[in-house]
């Protein structure tokens, strides 16, 4: 990553650092009932296994606040309590061990109430995220400025400055909209105007696919400009997809260590074999493997090995059928069974250790 990162203050969320030069933190949020303690804990563990760094949980009522405490004991990751409307739920969440509290200035009510949360948070060194959403702005701001980057900015800064007056600086700020451009704009200004760590994401991005692409455009742009300390890719559905897509973005920008990557050409009139089917089979077979291998599937022998020179292992389909197998751009052999040879080569490179750890993928393999 060649861009210079904006260095913010650092906050400590139960041992995980956000900002101040710390590695980018990837978040998600549970969508189970918080009061369903086993289901919520299980979802958190799946998120962690997929590469999630921090998990947020909605605390919509008292029962959820106390469940939050139970879940906190069951999982090995700091937990963030997501609070709307009722400041007393924030107090309860802090009592129950919340490592960070998200408040929405658009609906949390008078600052006198927020002050009580600040006191409790300061006592237990719990950072607060000011989470402003385009859809839940204070009525006054909404009336004056409409849904705009400026309104998001003012909403966040108004409450941050009030918190500072109370001596509270342990803040993360987020300004989210479902508009990519508004999200980019508000964060560019927040990055200039404050030294707080910034939490990036779109709200209501939608389903995986279009939602992932919009999120990548917004979050990717900001990260590539050096802005952002933690991200959440909000997608409708299983939150695991948020982690998969978030990792693609962070790895693509060099902000997380690389994982297994399959590159493949878009195919054209020169293509000799079924690039798509092979790429999909290898993806299914190896996607969950913990490895940094770069695998290439290329459609022609003329461009293929060169175009995928940096791949650890690759195949270029040949005009006369079958394919050329190459490593780091050097042809090492030919094959008539592209999938079998590639899978064997990749398993060989991954080594015996990972093979055992990945028995789970056997089931998927048998589908083919």
Under rule CB under 8 A, which residues in 183-222 are in contact with a second copy?
A: 184-185, 203-207, 209-214, 216-221
Single out the residue of 341, 196, 190, 251 nearest to residue 26, CA to CA. 251
Of 72-80, 90-98, 116-124, 243-251, the window that binds a second copy (rule: CB under 8 A) is 243-251
Name the minimum Å distance from CB 66 to a second copy.
Answer: 13
Of 18-26, 79-87, 119-127, 153-161, the window that binds a second copy (rule: CB under 8 A) is 79-87
Which tokens hold the place of 110?
A: 């008078």
d(CA 159, CA 330) in angstroms, rounded, equals 59
What angle (nearest 5°) sits at the alpha carbon of residue 200, between those of residues 246 and 235?
50
- Please identify, using beta-carbon distances, which residue of 32 and 358 lies nearer to a second copy: 32
Q: Return the residues of window 146-175 that contact a second copy according to CB under 8 A.
A: 147
Q: Per CB under 8 A, does 367 bind a second copy?
A: no
Single out the residue of 286, 278, 210 nearest to residue 241, CA to CA. 210
Among 70, 95, 195, 225, binds a second copy (CB under 8 A): 225
CA–CA distance from 57 to each of 37, 166, 343 (Å)?
11, 27, 40
Name the minimum Å distance from CB 214 to a second copy.
Answer: 5
Binding mask 278-317 for a second copy (x = CB under 8 A): -xx--x------------xxx---xx--xxxxx-------
What angle (nearest 5°) sits at the alpha carbon of residue 290, between those of residues 288 and 295?
80
- Please identify, using beta-carbon distances, which residue of 118 and 298 lies nearer to a second copy: 298
- In b/e form, how buried is each residue of 138-158, taking b as 16+ CB within 10 angstroms? beebbeebebbbebbbbbbbb
Among 42, 48, 224, 240, binds a second copy (CB under 8 A): 224
Q: Return the residues of window 85-104 that contact a second copy according to CB under 8 A.
A: 85
Which tokens hold the place of 310?
A: 């940096």
Among 136, 158, 335, 361, binds a second copy (CB under 8 A): 136
- Please identify, using beta-carbon distances, which residue of 14 and 206 lies nearer to a second copy: 206
Strand order, beta sheet including 171-176: 171-176, 128-133, 100-103, 79-83, 54-58, 25-29, 230-232, 199-200
Q: Return the residues of window 53-72 that contact a second copy according to CB under 8 A.
A: 57-60, 64
Q: Return the residues of window 255-284 that contact a second copy according to CB under 8 A.
A: 261-271, 275-276, 279-280, 283
Contact 138, 105 (CB under 8 A): yes
- Please identify, using beta-carbon distances, which residue of 163 and 235 lies nearer to a second copy: 235
Q: Return the residues of window 25-54 that contact a second copy according to CB under 8 A.
A: 29-35, 40
Which runs of E-coded beta strand occur in 197-356? Answer: 199-200, 230-232, 261-264, 294-298, 313-317, 323-327, 330-335
Q: Per CB under 8 A, does 178 bind a second copy?
A: yes
Strand order, beta sheet including 313-317: 261-264, 294-298, 313-317, 323-327, 330-335
The pairing of beta strand 261-264 with beta strand 294-298: parallel
Name the minimum Å distance from CB 46 to a second copy.
Answer: 16
Q: Per CB under 8 A, does 236 bind a second copy?
A: yes
d(CA 306, CA 299) in angstroms, rounded, equals 12
Name the minimum Å distance from CB 169 to a second copy.
Answer: 28
Name the minimum Å distance from CB 353 to a second copy.
Answer: 25
Q: How many residues bind a second copy (CB under 8 A)?
A: 85
Of 94-102, 118-126, 160-168, 233-241, the window that binds a second copy (rule: CB under 8 A) is 233-241
């Amino acid at each position: 990553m060649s861009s210079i990162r904006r260095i913010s203050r650092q906050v400590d969320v139960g041992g995980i650092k956000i900002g101040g030069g710390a590695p980018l933190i990837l978040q998600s949020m549970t969508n189970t009932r918080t009061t369903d303690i086993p289901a919520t804990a299980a979802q958190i563990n799946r998120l962690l296994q997929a590469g999630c760094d921090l998990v947020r949980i909605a605390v919509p009522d008292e029962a959820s606040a106390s469940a939050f405490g139970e879940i906190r004991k069951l999982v090995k990751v700091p937990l963030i309590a997501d609070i709307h409307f009722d400041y007393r739920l924030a107090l309860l969440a802090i009592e129950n061990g919340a490592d960070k509290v998200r408040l929405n200035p658009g609906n949390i009510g008078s600052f006198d109430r927020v002050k009580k949360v600040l006191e409790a948070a300061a006592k237990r060194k719990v950072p607060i995220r000011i989470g402003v959403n385009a859809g839940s702005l204070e009525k006054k701001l909404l009336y004056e400025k409409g849904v705009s980057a400026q309104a998001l900015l003012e909403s966040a800064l108004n409450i941050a400055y009030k918190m500072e007056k109370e001596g509270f600086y342990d803040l993360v700020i987020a300004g989210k909209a479902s508009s990519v451009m508004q999200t980019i704009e508000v964060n560019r200004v927040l990055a200039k105007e404050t030294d707080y760590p910034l939490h990036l994401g779109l709200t209501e991005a939608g389903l995986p696919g279009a939602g992932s692409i919009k999120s990548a455009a917004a979050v990717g742009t900001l990260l590539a400009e050096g802005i952002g300390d933690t991200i959440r890719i909000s997608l409708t559905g299983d939150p695991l997809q948020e982690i998969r897509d978030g990792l693609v973005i962070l790895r693509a920008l060099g902000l997380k260590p690389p994982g297994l990557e399959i590159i493949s050409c878009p195919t054209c009139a020169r293509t000799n074999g079924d690039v798509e089917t092979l790429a999909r089979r290898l993806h299914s077979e190896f996607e969950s493997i913990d490895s940094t291998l770069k695998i290439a599937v290329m459609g022609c022998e003329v461009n293929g090995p060169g175009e995928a020179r940096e791949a650890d292992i690759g195949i270029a389909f040949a005009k006369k059928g079958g394919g050329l197998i190459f490593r780091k751009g050097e042809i090492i052999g030919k094959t008539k069974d592209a999938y079998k040879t590639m899978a064997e080569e990749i398993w060989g490179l991954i080594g015996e250790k990972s093979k055992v750890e990945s028995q789970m993928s056997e089931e998927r393999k048998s589908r083919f």
